Structure 1
Amino acid sequence: EDGDVDDELLPAMTDADFTAQQTFMSQSKDNLKVLMDEFSPEQYDRFEAYRRHALPKQAVRKVIQQTVGQQVSQPVAQIVAGFAKVFVGEIVEKARAVQRRRGDTGPLTPDHMREAYRMYQQETGRV
C-alpha cells in the first residue's frame, strides 16, 4: 500500500518527456566520448578511477546523522555521497594544479591539498 501512495506523489512522465530524457542521455554519452578521446593516458586513468569509486554510503550516512543529530534516509545519504564525490574531485584537480604550478612531481602531498582547499574557499566563499 505504501508503494501506491508514493506513486500518487510522483507525476507520470509523458512520452515527450521520456523521449527528451533519452535524447539528453544519448547526447551526454556522445559528449563524454568526445571529451575522453582528448584525454592524455594519465587523465584517462584518473577519470576511470574517479568513475569506478564511490564514497561508502553507510559511512556517509553515519557522518550526516552525527552532524545533524537525527536519522537520514538512504536516498539522502546517496545524494550527499554524490556531492561529496564531486567535491573531492574538485579539490584533487585543484591540488594537481597547485602541484604543477610549483613544479612538484610525484603523489599529491597534504600541502597541495591544503592549498587546493584554501583556493576552493576563496573562489566559492563557502565550506
Structure 2
Amino acid sequence: MISVSEWQKIGMGIMGFGIFFILFGILLYFDSVLLAFGNILFLCGLSFIIGLRRTFGFFFQWHKLKGTSFFLGGVIIVLMRWPLLGMALETYGFINLFRGFFPVAFGFLASNIPFLSSLFQRLQGTSSMV
C-alpha cells in the first residue's frame, strides 16, 4: 500500500478545492475571481502533493516549456480578469503538458471500469488502417 503523508493529504484537499472553484467559475459564466482562486489553489495543491522541487522540475523541463508557458500565461491572464482567453490558453497548455499521461489514463480506465472497457474495445475494433 502506498503511504500518503499529511502534507500530501492537505495537498489533495487544496487541489480538490481548486478544481471545485475552477468548475464553479466556469459554471457561473467564467467568473474571473473564482477561476483565479481555483488556479491558485490548484497550483498550491500540486506543489503540496509532489513537492516544490518536483513541481518546478515538471513544469520547467525543456520539452514541456511550450505547454508550461501557455498554462502559466493563461493563469496570469485569468488573474488580469480576461477569463475566456485565459482558460483557452490554460486548456491548450494543460493538453500539451499532460499529453504523455492521457494514454496511460485511458488504458487504466479501459481495463478497470466495466462499461468503459467494453466501449473502448468496441471503438478499438471499428477503426482499421487498411
Q: Shorter-chain TM-score category?
A: under 0.3
Higher relative contact order (CA 8 A, sep 6+): 2
* TM-score relative to the length of structure 1: 0.26
Considering only CA atoms, is the larger Rg found in Structure 1 or Structure 2?
A: 1
